[in-house]
Amino acid sequence: MIWLLLAGAIVTEVAATLALRASEGFRKRRWIAPVVVFYLIAFTLLAVALAGGLQVGIAYGVWAACGVALTAILARILFKEKLTPRMIVGIALIAVGVFVIELGAAH
């Protein structure tokens, strides 16, 4: 259950970040509410996961790594931003890092 809360926090944080990008520096005001709402949900879910016993170092590591990878991939799809071969290798390394963190958390 704790990992589902963290996953929800990651997804909503990525949604907030993408909404922030879509707002074009808040020039498109219709994106302001989704940015605020998604960030509030993300931090609430993260807080509940931490209160449920998830270690902060593990939670933050997984949060940051998954957030970076998902944001880069979705920004490519939604906004046609660059996703170079070097960036793809970085995303793969992030995935390996998250896997190692989860293995460490199990012990």
Q: What is the mean pLDDT of residues 92-101?
A: 88
**Cα radius of gyration (the chain):** 15
At 107, is the pLDDT very low, low, confident or very high (cuts 50, 70, 90)? low
With beta carbons less than 8 A apart as the criterion, state whether 8 and 40 touch: no
pLDDT, averaged across the chain: 94
- Domains of the chain by residue range: 2-105
Higher confidence at residue 44 or residue 100?
44
- Tokens representing 52? 């449920």
> Following DSSP, what letter does each residue of 48-104 receive, concatenated?
HHHHTT--HHHHHHHHHHHHHHHHHHHHHHHH-----HHHHHHHHHHHHHHHHHHHH
Q: In 3D, which of 14, 21, 65 has the Cα closest to residue 41? A: 14
Lowest mean pLDDT among 19-28, 55-64, 82-91: 55-64
Instruction: Evaluate if residue 105 carries a pLDDT over 90.
Output: no
For the question of whether the overall pTM of this predicted structure is more than 0.85, the answer is: yes
The answer for residues whose C-beta is within 8 angstroms of residue 30's C-beta and 6 or more apart is none
From 3-7, 36-40, 72-76, 99-103, the region with the lowest mean pLDDT: 99-103
What distance in Å separates the CA atoms of residue 52 and residue 85, rounded to the nearest whole number?
Answer: 38
At residue 21 the predicted structure's pLDDT band, cuts being 50, 70 and 90, is very high
